[in-house]
């Protein structure tokens, strides 16, 4: 339930999965940023592989399906090909991407972004967690710096099966989601500096509360979401730290993170600009200073018609009800779409699709449906010359 990227728990989970990969006869290698590649040979190993991937790192209060379904589903595809003694024209490779969640080092899809070339290896290694420990130091400590160069050689196709993490498929009674792309994601970190003061004797007019300023921004974001002026905007203030964080002292500093999502890049940029403009208002009103930093930004991603059509046709052939759906969450597939034909298969989650929560759940049937579609698509693409 808690395997923050590159912690001992995350690495223990990786090792267990890699032992299963090797049992399945896969040849395991690592790239420079710790991404796993596990290869099943094809009839012609000179051809670019079809890659099936996802992640096994988790948020701090995770569910059991986010990421793991795609990795273990890929393993099931390989095991099934082995059991049936089926050879494919192209190699099939399973990928496990490093720090997909971004919860520890502040940038999500980190490993796949480095593999796809959006972020350099040096930039990624220099990122640090709340304790000041760097990605590079953790990769070195765990011996996860592998020989495969980044950016990686583009695969023939990239496929990923994932739980929806939302309520749409379950509410509509759909068994499969044909993912059309990933909505834009923009993360801000605001560092607010006020002035520590005695909470009993400092007149209100002389207070510069960093906590009040952070609260005003938090409430404003909720108003922006509900205003409808930014389309399907979502916003979350996830981290909210204040100092000195004591009952009778006006806070001198607050650090908050803001997670914005929107299917439209222009709408998320308008929301971001209006938010920062409001920060200037808050500075005027409360006498604090607000420094903002963009810690993550991924524009909307459009997946490939070729892959969407294959997923849709396969689901229909199996008689699985399906609809096209845009992903609300970021995924490694969004990074891979920059370098090769890419698509995703969504399966419904229970309880309004609750995710990043221990209650996250997809039924065995829902998971099997998704992996059956993944299998057929992978084999189909792996047999194309």
Q: Which chain residues interact with its own copies by CB under 8 A?
A: 59-61, 101-103, 106, 108, 164-167, 183, 185, 187, 195-204, 206-207, 209, 211-212, 214-216, 218-219, 222, 225-226, 234, 236-242, 244-252, 254, 257, 259, 261, 295, 327-330, 352-357
Cα separation, 94 vs 86, in Å, equals: 17
- Is position 356 annotated in a ligand binding site? yes
Q: Of 254 and 275, which CB lies nearer to its own copies in the complex structure?
A: 254
Residue pair 37/28 in contact by the 8 Å Cβ criterion: yes
Cα separation, 89 vs 93, in Å, equals: 13
Q: Of 151 and 353, which CB lies nearer to its own copies in the complex structure?
A: 353
Instruction: Tally the residues of the chain.
Output: 385
CB of 355 to its own copies, least distance (A): 4
Q: Which residue(s) pair with 322 in the sheet?
A: 176
Indicate the pairing of strand 197-198 with strand 27-30: unpaired
Q: Of 117 and 167, which CB lies nearer to its own copies in the complex structure?
A: 167
Q: Which residue(s) pair with 128 in the sheet?
A: 134
Q: Of 31 and 160, which CB lies nearer to its own copies in the complex structure?
A: 160
3-class SS at 197? strand
- Is position 55 annotated in a ligand binding site? yes
CB of 101 to its own copies, least distance (A): 7
Cα separation, 30 vs 24, in Å, equals: 17
Q: Of 81 and 185, which CB lies nearer to its own copies in the complex structure?
A: 185
Q: Of 175 and 253, which CB lies nearer to its own copies in the complex structure?
A: 253
Residue 57 structure tokens: 């790192």
Buried b (16+ CB within 10 A) or exposed e, 127-151: bebeeebbbbebbeebebebeeebb
Residue 5 structure tokens: 């990227």
Runs of H (alpha helix) within 287-363? 305-317, 332-336
Residue pair 172/323 in contact by the 8 Å Cβ criterion: yes
* Spatial CB neighbours of 131, under 8 Å, sequence gap ≥ 6: none
CB of 161 to its own copies, least distance (A): 16
CB of 109 to its own copies, least distance (A): 11
| CA distances in angstroms from 344 to 6, 306, 319, 353, 366, listed in the order given | 25, 12, 18, 17, 15
Cα separation, 365 vs 5, in Å, equals: 29
CB of 382 to its own copies, least distance (A): 30
Q: Of 38 and 213, which CB lies nearer to its own copies in the complex structure?
A: 213
Q: Which residue(s) pair with 38 in the sheet?
A: 28, 94
CB of 260 to its own copies, least distance (A): 9
Indicate the pairing of strand 157-163 with strand 342-347: parallel
- Is position 264 annotated in a ligand binding site? no
Q: Of 24 and 225, which CB lies nearer to its own copies in the complex structure?
A: 225
With tokens 């096994």, the residue in question is 56
CB of 23 to its own copies, least distance (A): 32
Q: Of 122 and 247, which CB lies nearer to its own copies in the complex structure?
A: 247
- Is position 162 annotated in a ligand binding site? yes
- Is position 99 annotated in a ligand binding site? no
CB of 25 to its own copies, least distance (A): 35
CB of 243 to its own copies, least distance (A): 8
Cα separation, 262 vs 327, in Å, equals: 10
CA 269 to chain centre: 20
- Which residues define the annotated binding site? 55, 66, 101, 162, 356
Residue stretches of the annotated binding site for Zn(2+): 55, 66, 101, 162, 356
């Amino acid at each position: 339930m808690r395997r923050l990227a590159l912690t001992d728990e995350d690495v223990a989970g990786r090792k267990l999965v890699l032992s299963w990969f090797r049992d399945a006869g896969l040849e395991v290698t690592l790239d420079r940023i710790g991404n796993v590649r596990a290869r099943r040979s094809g009839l012609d190993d000179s051809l670019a592989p079809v890659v099936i991937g996802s992640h096994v790192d988790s948020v701090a209060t995770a569910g059991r399906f986010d990421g793991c379904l795609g990795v273990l589903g890929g393993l099931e595809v390989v095991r099934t090909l082995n059991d049936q003694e089926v050879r494919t024209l192209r190699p099939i490779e399973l990928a496990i991407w490093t720090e997909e969640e971004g919860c520890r080092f502040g940038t999500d899809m980190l490993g796949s972004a480095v593999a796809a070339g959006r972020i350099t290896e040096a930039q990624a290694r220099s990122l640090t967690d709340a304790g000041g420990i760097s990605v590079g130091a953790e990769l070195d400590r765990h011996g996860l710096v592998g020989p495969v160069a980044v950016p990686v050689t583009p695969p023939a196709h990239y496929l990923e099966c994932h739980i929806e993490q939302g309520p749409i498929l379950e509410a509509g009674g759909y068994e499969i989601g044909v993912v059309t792309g990933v909505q834009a994601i923009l993360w801000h970190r605001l560092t607010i500096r006020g002035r520590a003061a005695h909470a009993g004797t400092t007149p209100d007019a002389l207070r510069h509360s960093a906590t009040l300023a952070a609260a005003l921004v938090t409430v404003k974001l909720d108003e922006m979401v509900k205003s409808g002026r930014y389309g399907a905007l979502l916003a979350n203030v996830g981290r909210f730290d204040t100092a000195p964080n004591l009952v009778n002292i006006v806070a001198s500093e607050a650090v908050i993170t803001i997670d914005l999502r929107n299917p439209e890049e222009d709408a998320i940029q308008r929301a971001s600009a209006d938010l920062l403009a409001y920060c200037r208002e808050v500075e005027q009103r409360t006498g604090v200073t607000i420094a903002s930093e963009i810690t993550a930004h991924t524009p909307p991603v459009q997946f490939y018609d070729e892959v969407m059509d294959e997923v849709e046709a396969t689901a229909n052939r199996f008689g699985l009800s399906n609809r096209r759906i845009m992903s609300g969450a970021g995924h490694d597939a969004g990074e891979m779409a920059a370098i090769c034909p890419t698509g995703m298969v969504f399966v419904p989650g229970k309880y309004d699709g609750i995710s990043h929560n221990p209650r996250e759940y997809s039924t065995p049937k829902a998971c099997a449906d998704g992996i059956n579609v993944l299998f057929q698509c992978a084999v189909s693409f792996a047999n194309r010359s």
